[in-house]
Amino acid sequence: MHAGITVRVHSVIWQKEETALSIKLLHGVRVPHRKNTAESVPVRIPTPKTVTIPMSMNIGAPAKPVVKPGDTVKVGQMIGEPGGFVSSPVYSGVSGTVKKIDDILLFHGAVSPAVVIESDGEQTPYEGLAAPEVTDLDSFVEAVRMSGVVGLGGAGFPTAVKLKADPAKVDFICINGAECEPYLTGDTRTMLDDTDLLVEGIAMLQKFYSPEKVIIGVEDNKPKAIAKLREATKEMDGVEVAALPALYPQGGEKVLIYHTTGRIVEEGKLPLDAGVIVLNTTTLATIVRYIRTGMPLTERRITVDGSAVRNPMNVFAPIGTPLRDVIDFTGGFKSDPRKIILGGPMMGIATTDLDQPVVKNTGAILCFDAKDAEPPAPTPCIKCGRCVNHCPMNLMPTDIERALDLGRPDLLKELKVNLCIECGCCAFVCPAKRPLVQVNKLAKIELNNYNKKLKAEAEARAAKEAAKNEGKEANAE
Amino acid sequence: MNENMIVSVSPHIRSNDTTQTIMRDVLIGLVPAVIVSVVFFGLRALLVELFCVAVCVFCEWLFERGMKRPNTISDLSAAVTGLMLAMNLPVRIPLWQAAIGCVVAIIVVKQLFGGIGHNFANPALTARIVMFLAFSSTMATWTAPNFVDAVSSATPLEILKTGSAEGLNLLHLFLGAAGGSLGETSTVALLAGGLYMMFRKVISWHIPVTYIGTVFLLSLLKGGFTFAVAEIFAGSLFLCAFFMATDYVTSPHTNKGRLMYAFGCGLLTCLIRFYGSYPEGASFAVLLMNILTPYINRWSMTKPFGGVKA
C-alpha cells in the first residue's frame, strides 16, 4: 500500500483466529513504557479547598457559566451549559460556594472564564441527579451530551458530536485502550477496574449502531487488561479484543483505525467517513456511569509520575483541582521539579504553573527533575532519514523543516504537513535532536496562511473576471 | 520554584542516539578493517590511519575556530572522515600527501559548504579522487601484503580488467591478502564492520545489498560466477558499499531512494570497471550518485498515509 520497511511480523493478533487481518503496520517508535503505576488502583484525593473549573475544556465553543458568585453548588450540579453545538456542559465536582468567575490563562495558552468554587468539604450530591432515560439513538446521544464527556484520551472533542452519526454508515466501532504514551496507566485502570462499564457500553453501542464489529484495541504490554476484557466479552458476538504491538503511536486515531480495521481515514475526512467511530476506554466508561447513575463527568483518573515525584500513583481528582493539591496528596516531590507535563511525555504540554487546574482531559501529571527536563541542544541535520522512516503518516519531516526554512509554503503543501498528527516520533528518533514537532506546528500555520492567501487570490481573480464579463455584457447591450 | 521551570514543545523524551553515537559506531565498524590493515601492511598502516584522523580533526577544529563557528569535533564526524580517507590510501603514501587529502576532505569538501550535514559529496571519497588525480604515481603504488608469496604488483582489478579471474585466489581476496589500499582489501573485515553497523541500526541493508547485488549480477552476466565473485571481493566495492555510499548526508533518506541510488552506484561501477580506462570505478560511481542524491530525493518522495492528490 505504502512504501516503508518495518522490521517486524506484520500482522495484528486477533482474539478469534478466523478474522485475522493482515496489514503492514504503520511506522512507529519503540518508546520506553515506564508504566510504573499500572498496578496502582486510583485513590480519591481529599476534597480540595478550592477548585477552579475552566469553561473551555473541549475543542469547540466554551461552556457558558450558569452560576454566579455567592451561589451554592453541589456535586454533579451543572455550572456551565453548552455554548453551541460543538460544546459540552461543565459540572461541579465539589459542594460549596461559588466565589468568583474570572478569566484565567490555561496551560495550553488559551484564556477561558473559570468558575472558582470554595468547597464546604461535605461533598453533598446534587439532588437533581437522575439517570437519563436511554431508549434509542437520539436519547443516547443526548445522554452523552449531558454527561459532559469529551475525548478523555486527550483530544477533548465533544463525544456527543462524534456519536451523532447515521448507524447505517458505522461499520466498525473501535474502543481505544492502546494507551501508547509512556507512564500513563489511567486507561489501563479503566479496563481493569471498570470492565463491567465497558461491557455495558459496548452492548449499548451495538444496540444503537449495529456495527459489523466492535474492536477493543489494546497494546500488548497490558496482558492483564487484554485477558480481563477477553474474558468479559467472550460471550458477546461481534466483539474483538485486538492485542496490538506496543509500537507508539498505536493509540493515534488514524493508526488505531488502520491497525484494527484496515480502513484509511483520508486527508480532510473524519473516521466516520471511513465507517468507523473511535471511543477512548475511559470516555466510554464515563458515559456508561452517567447513564447508570446520573453522575456526570466531575472527576477523573490521573497518573502522577516522573523522576521528580516521590510516590508515582494513580488518583481520582475533581476537575478544577489545582495540580499542586494532586501532587501534594501523592507525597510531593523527591527532587526539585524542573518540568511539569500535562499528559504523556510524547505529546503532553509543559506548564510552569502548579496552580493550573485539572481539566477534563488531564490524563497525567508528570514532573521531571533537571536531568530529564532540559531539551537537548539541536545539532545540524545529518539527513539520516530516521524521521522519514519512523513517521506513522509517512511524511518527510527533514524536508518539511527545510521547506519551512526556505520559506516555501508550496513545498509544505506538496509534503502534506497538514497530515502531521504531532505524535513526536520524528523528534524522538532524531539523533541531531532537532525540534521537529515544533517545526511541523509552525509549518502547519505557514501552510494555512498560504492556503488562505491562495483562496483570497482566486476569489479576487474570479470577482475581477465577473466584473469584466458584466462590463462586456453592458457594452453589448 | 516557578522561575526554574522549563517549557518546551513535545516530545519531552528523546532516544539515546546522537550524531556522536552514530559516528562512534561507524568508527567501531571500521576496527576490523584497521586490524587487518596492520596485519597485512604492517605498523605503517596504523601510522597513516592515526595521522589522517589527527589531521582531519585538527582541520575541523582550526577552520571552525577561524570562522567563529561552534566546534563540532566532538561529534566524531571528522574522525570518521579521517579514518575513511586513510582506508583509501596505499600504505607507502607520503604523509604530506595524506595531509593534503585531509585538508581537501575537511576544509574544501565539508566546511566550505557549511560543515556537517551540508556537504553534497562524501568528503573522504572526494579527497581520494583528488589525490588519485594529483598524486597518481604514489596513489597507484600498491605494496604486496605480508604472508603472501605473490609479489605481483598488479591489483586484482587490473587482472580482472582482462575479462577473467584467472590467477586470482578468491580466498585471499576474501581475507584481504591482496594488493590495494589499507582498508579495502579485506572483504571479511568490511563485512563484519558492516554487519555491526546494521545490527546497531546505523545503516539499513538497502544500500550495501543493492549496490553489491547489482555489481554481482552485472558481472555474472559479463563473465560468469567466478568472475562475479572476484569482482565483488576485489577493489574497494565493500568499503564503498558499506561505508562510503551509506554516508547519510550524501545519500537519499528514503528507502525507495536508497534502492535507486545503490542501483545507480552498482551500474556505474560496472560500466567504469568493464569499459572505462580506470580499473576501479566504485569511488567515481559513488561520487556521481552523491551528486544525483538531491534529485533522487525528489523522485522518491514518500506517499503520505491517507494523502489525497490535490
In angstroms, rounded to a whole number, what is the distance separating the alpha carbons of residues B267 and B181? 23
In angstroms, rounded to a whole number, what is the distance separating the alpha carbons of residues A69 and A54? 15
* Structure-derived torsion over alpha carbons of residues B128, B71, B242, B233, reported in degrees to the nearest 10: 30
**Residue-level pLDDT at B147:** 65
**How is residue A118 written as a grid cell?**
470554595
Q: Are strands A213-219 and A239-244 parallel, antiparallel or unpaired?
A: parallel
Tell me the backbone φ, ψ of residue A316, rounded to 5 degrees: -105, 130
In angstroms, rounded to a whole number, what is the distance separating the alpha carbons of residues B225 and B211? 17
Q: Residue B280: pLDDT band by 50, 70, 90 thresholds?
A: confident
Nearest alpha-carbon partner for A358 in A315, A324, A306, A321: A321
- The alpha-helical segments, DSSP class H, found in A134-242 are 137-146, 159-163, 186-193, 195-209, 223-233
As a whole number, mean pLDDT of residues B92-110 equals: 96
DSSP string, A305-349: ESTTBSS-EEEEEETT-BHHHHHHHHT-BSS-EEEEEES-TTT-E
In angstroms, rounded to a whole number, what is the distance separating the alpha carbons of residues A188 and A226? 10
In angstroms, rounded to a whole number, what is the distance separating the alpha carbons of residues A390 and A371? 26
As a whole number, mean pLDDT of residues B23-48 equals: 95
Dihedral sign from CA coordinates of B298, B300, B305, B306: positive
**How is residue B294 written as a grid cell?**
538531491
State the smallest CA–CA distance between residue A374 and chain B in angstroms.
7
Percent of chain B beyond pLDDT 70?
A: 96
Q: Are strands A172-177 and A96-105 parallel, antiparallel or unpaired?
A: unpaired
Distances (CA, A) of A52 to A55, A118, A199, A231, B1: 10, 9, 34, 41, 22
Task: Report the complex ipTM.
Answer: 0.91
Among chain A residues, CA nearest to B9: A438
Do the Cβ atoms of B2 and A354 come within 8 Å? yes
**Residue-level pLDDT at B265:** 97
Nearest alpha-carbon partner for B37 in B269, B230, B193, B242: B193
Across the interface, which of B22, B115, B308 has its CB nearest the CB of A266?
Answer: B308
Structural domains of chain B ordered from first start: 19-299 (1.10.3430)
Neighbours of B177 (CB within 10 A): 21
- pLDDT higher than 80, residue B3: no
3-class secondary-structure state, position A107: coil
**Residue-level pLDDT at B148:** 62
Across the interface, which of A264, A348, A382 has its CB nearest the CB of B306?
Answer: A264
Do the Cβ atoms of B304 and A380 come within 8 Å? no
Among chain A residues, CA nearest to B6: A339
Tell me the backbone φ, ψ of residue A126, rounded to 5 degrees: -65, 135
Helix (H) or strand (E) holding B293: helix B282-299
Nearest alpha-carbon partner for A166 in A277, A332, A304: A277
Paired strand residues for A90? A80
- pLDDT higher than 60, residue B153: no
Nearest alpha-carbon partner for A307 in A374, A245, A358, A250: A374
**Residue-level pLDDT at A2:** 33
Among chain A residues, CA nearest to B256: A3
Among chain B residues, CA nearest to A350: B7
Neighboring chain A residues of B8 at a CB cutoff of 8 Å: 339, 350, 375, 435
State the smallest CA–CA distance between residue B10 and chain A in angstroms.
5
**Residue-level pLDDT at A1:** 31
In angstroms, rounded to a whole number, what is the distance separating the alpha carbons of residues A280 and A300? 14
Whether residue B257 contacts residue B179, with contact meaning beta carbons closer than 8 Å, is answered with no
Tell me the CB-side half-sphere exposure of residue A55, using CA atoms within 13 A: 22
> Rounded to the nearest 10 degrees, what angle do helices A195-209 and A137-146 cross at?
140
**Residue-level pLDDT at A7:** 29
- pLDDT higher than 90, residue B162: no
3-class secondary-structure state, position B295: helix
Nearest alpha-carbon partner for A151 in A341, A278, A288: A278
Which of B6, B12, B209, B258 is the best substitution to test chain A (most A C-beta atoms within 10 A)?
B12
**Residue-level pLDDT at A20:** 59
Which of A347, A388, A425, A445 is the best substitution to test chain B (most B C-beta atoms within 10 A)?
A388
Which of B2, B119, B122, B253 is the best substitution to test chain A (most A C-beta atoms within 10 A)?
B253
Q: What class, spelled out in words, does domain A47-120+300-373 have in CATH?
A: alpha beta
Distances (CA, A) of B221 to B187, B226, B274, B285: 22, 11, 12, 20
Q: What is the mean pLDDT of chain B?
A: 91
- pLDDT higher than 50, residue B74: yes
> For chain A, which residues make up each domain, given as ranges?
17-30+135-143+161-293, 47-120+300-373, 377-477
**How is residue A466 written as a grid cell?**
465577473
Tell me the CB-side half-sphere exposure of residue A11, using CA atoms within 13 A: 9
What pLDDT tens digit does each residue of chain A (477 aa) get?
333 323 233 344 443 343 457 788 899 999 999 999 999 999 999 999 999 999 999 999 999 999 999 999 999 999 999 999 999 999 999 999 999 999 999 988 889 999 999 999 999 999 989 999 999 999 999 999 999 999 887 778 999 999 999 999 999 999 999 999 999 999 999 999 999 999 999 999 999 999 999 999 999 999 999 999 999 999 999 999 999 999 999 999 999 999 999 999 999 999 999 999 999 999 999 999 999 999 999 999 999 999 999 999 999 999 999 999 999 999 999 999 999 999 999 999 999 999 999 999 999 999 999 989 989 999 999 999 999 999 999 999 999 999 999 999 999 999 999 999 999 999 999 999 999 999 999 999 999 999 999 999 999 999 999 888 887 777 765
Residues of B engaging A, defined by a Cβ cutoff of 8 Å? 1-2, 4-15, 17-19, 21-22, 72, 75, 77, 115-118, 204, 248-249, 252-256, 297, 301-308, 310
Across the interface, which of A3, A31, A338 has its CB nearest the CB of B255?
Answer: A3
CATH topology for A17-30+135-143+161-293?
A: Rossmann fold (3.40.50)
Neighboring chain A residues of B309 at a CB cutoff of 8 Å: none
Neighboring chain A residues of B301 at a CB cutoff of 8 Å: 396, 399, 414-415
DSSP string, A212-235: SEEEEEEETT-HHHHHHHHHHHTT
State the smallest CA–CA distance between residue A380 and chain B in angstroms.
6
State the smallest CA–CA distance between residue A81 and chain B in angstroms.
32
State the smallest CA–CA distance between residue A402 and chain B in angstroms.
12
3-class secondary-structure state, position A37: coil
Neighboring chain A residues of B14 at a CB cutoff of 8 Å: 376, 427-428, 430, 433
Whole-prediction pTM value?
A: 0.91
**Residue-level pLDDT at A394:** 95
Q: Would you give the DSSP letter of residue A25?
A: P
3-class secondary-structure state, position A281: helix
